[in-house]
Chains A and B, each alone.
Chain A
Amino acid sequence: MNNYLIVAGIIFCIGALGVLMRKNLIIVFMSLELMFNAANLGFVAVSNRLNLISGDIFVIFVMVVAAAEAAVALGIIVAFYREKGTVDMDKANELKN
């Protein structure tokens, strides 16, 4: 049982690592999706272990949110790309201090 959580943890951390070290916004976005999915896996595993369903329901909502967020995020990334001509997050540096 714990194995699932460990895998979830690993994927979560890989996702975090992706967010931390990649600068390509698309890849960062995908890393975030990885993190969400890790959480999903955890929910399903826990809910299975506890013989409950609510965790699975949570997963569905996470998926919905991920979809919604994907729409908005990609919209913003596209808008950003239009302005800067790149998806490098370091180019987002007008606002500082």
Chain B
Amino acid sequence: MHNIMPAIYGLNSLEKSMLSIIPEAVVILFAFIVLFLTFFEKIAKSKNSYYLSLIGIAFSILYVVMLSGRNLTGFYGSVVFNGYDVFLFIAILLSGFLTVLVSKDYIENFDLPYPEFYSIILFGISAMMFLVASNNLIMVFISLEFMSICSYILTGYIRGNARSTEAALKYLILGTFASAFLIFGSVFIYAAVGHLNLNSIHTYLENISYGNNGSASILSGMGEYLSIGLLLFMVGLAFKMSLFPFHAWTPDAYDGAPTPITSFMATGIKIAAFAVFLRIYVLIYNINVINFNDILWVLAVLSMTFGNIAAILSANVKRLLAYSSIAQAGYILIGIIGGGFYGYSGTLFYLFTYIFMTAGAFAVVIIFENSDIASLDIKNLSGIAYKYPFISAAMALFMLSLAGIPVTGGFMGKFYVFSAAVKSGYYWLVFIALLNSAFAAYYYIKIIVKMYMPVKEDSNVSCIAGEGKNYGIVNGNISEGIILAVIICLFFTLIMGVYPQIFINFANYSAASLASL
């Protein structure tokens, strides 16, 4: 490896470009390989696709790590690769890795065609990575759509299942509708600045707002175009971030989708959407063309309040987590609103913790789903903790992390973004967010209550008396993969709560390269 490194500096521009997309390319390559497994009946039936996907993601992570520290721009500025991307690539790849890990049981359980499944997950991952890395509006649009189409397909993947199809349908109609706004917004941005490249737009706007002191006259006329363009563009992204009132797809799609995909949507797509929004925010929104923080403020407050309130009475675990993810989006947005290096770093850190707690929670949900639970109604969790002690403990911890209780990453993340917002003077926002976390704790706790504190009325599970044969971690038909996923999530959730400094450093490194653009 060491020998190759110096040589890179001598590469020509195409080679540099290729270098900048190696992680994505690796994932796509493996996606194709996995897909081609379908040609061979025998291989296709085996677990090869599962392992190949994992290997592919691992390779990609390896490449990301190898490339880290480099500042690359490829394809005439279409994509960039810098510290920001390193962080988010790893986040996305980890989320994909976890998704693949938790998928195996589920696929076997539901008898889904799996090489395609893994392949599309890999394509989705690559789309997300492109989305994060993209540096012009065309790239943003096309990779966003790429990601969306992958997720539509995955959402409706359980064929013959009305819920799955319905979820896909709703997701697709709404997603396309939102995309239309996004493109239409791009038209106006384009009309206002005449560039599609984000850096160019940034430079252009910066010259206007800072270069000429009496910027108002030049901005006038263009200002409205830019405003409407950015607002409509934001709608498209807010949809992916599932911010209220663009959240409507979230509960239904999360509910109907295969659970690993729900996990994937909740982690990967959300991270990618936030990442690209953060990049565009820093490059464009943050230049004081108009004050976007007002509207983001409102969106953040509405999202967390709606998400939390709606989740309170949710009877279905997946749905509950879906509402919770809306609320979490609100919290994450606080970091962006808070702004500054501190705020961006906080946002990234929060995103990172968010992966593990959400993916972990969904992994546990999958375990429950695969075992003896009739439906994901919370009632059915009654007393399950005594049957699956380790899994339930992990679930409890993920819930606590989502609720923002200390010793978990969720707390540190919340603390980070909240203090960033306070630092920028958004006192009320933080206050509302904290009140929100207070009553949000109720529904997270509700799950723990059901798992650990069964009452006689709603228990159809025989766990209460404590069959108590399962002391260990692995129980019955739960595969090692999913347990591994839970352990990974548990480890990261805890370590990020106990000693977050390493991750903060990582986020700082990432945020630094974001802000330096």
Asked if A and B form a direct contact in the complex, defined as CB atoms under 8 angstroms apart, the reply is: yes
Q: Complex: how many Å from CA A34 to CA B194?
A: 24
Given known A-B contacts A58-B186, A79-B165, A95-B170, A72 and B145 have beta carbons under 8 A apart: no
- Asked whether A68 and B145 contact (CB < 8 A) given A57-B138, A96-B252, the answer is yes
B151-167 residues with Cβ-Cβ distance < 8 A to A are 152-153, 156, 159-160, 162-163, 165-167
Chain A interface: which of B171-179, B271-279, B394-402, B485-493?
Answer: B171-179
Which A residues, 46 to 97, have Cβ-Cβ distances below 8 Å to chain B?
46-47, 49-50, 52, 54-55, 57-58, 61-62, 64-65, 68-69, 72-73, 76-77, 79-80, 83-84, 89, 92-97
Question: Is residue B190 contacting chain A, with contact meaning CB distance below 8 A?
Answer: yes
State in angstroms the CA–CA spacing of A29 and B174 once bound together: 11
Tell me which residues across on chain B come within 8 A of A94, comparing CB atoms: 162-163, 166, 256
Q: Point out the residue from B138, B160, B169, B188 that lies within 8 Å of A25, measured CB to CB.
A: B169
Check: B142 CB closer than 8 A to any chain A CB.
yes
Could you say which residues of chain B place their CB within 8 Å of the CB of A8? Answer: 184, 187
Whether B314 sits at the interface, judged by CB under 8 Å, is yes
Say whether A92 contacts B141, CB under 8 Å. no
On chain B, the residues within 8 Å of A95 by CB distance are 163, 166-167, 170, 251-252, 255-256
Q: Is B332 an interface residue (CB 8 A)?
A: no
B247 within 8 A of A: no
Q: C-beta contact mask, B15-53 vs A, less than 8 Å → 1, else 0?
A: 000000000000000000000000000000000000000
Main secondary structure of the interface of A (DSSP, over half): helix
Are A12 and B180 in touch, CB under 8 angstroms? Answer: yes
A72 pairs with B186, CB closer than 8 A: no
Q: State whether A92 and B187 are in contact (beta carbons under 8 Å apart), knowing that A58-B196, A65-B141 are contacts in the complex.
A: no
Taking a contact as CB atoms under 8 Å apart, the answer to whether B137 and A58 are in contact is: yes
A-B contact pairs, 19 of them (CB 8 A): A5-B187, A8-B184, A16-B180, A19-B173, A32-B173, A36-B179, A39-B184, A43-B190, A57-B138, A69-B149, A69-B172, A72-B152, A76-B152, A76-B172, A77-B169, A79-B168, A83-B165, A95-B163, A95-B251
**Which residues of chain B have a CB within 8 Å of any CB of chain A?**
137-138, 141-142, 145, 149, 152-153, 156, 159-160, 162-163, 165-170, 172-173, 176-177, 179-180, 183-184, 186-188, 190-191, 194-196, 251-252, 255-256, 314, 319
Other than the known A69-B176, A76-B169, A94-B163, what 11 A-B pairs have Cβ atoms closer than 8 Å? A8-B187, A25-B173, A38-B184, A43-B186, A43-B190, A55-B190, A68-B145, A69-B172, A73-B172, A73-B176, A80-B166
* A residues whose Cβ falls under 8 Å from a Cβ of B: 5, 8, 12, 15-16, 19, 25, 28-29, 32, 35-36, 38-39, 42-43, 46-47, 49-50, 52, 54-55, 57-58, 61-62, 64-65, 68-69, 72-73, 76-77, 79-80, 83-84, 89, 92-97
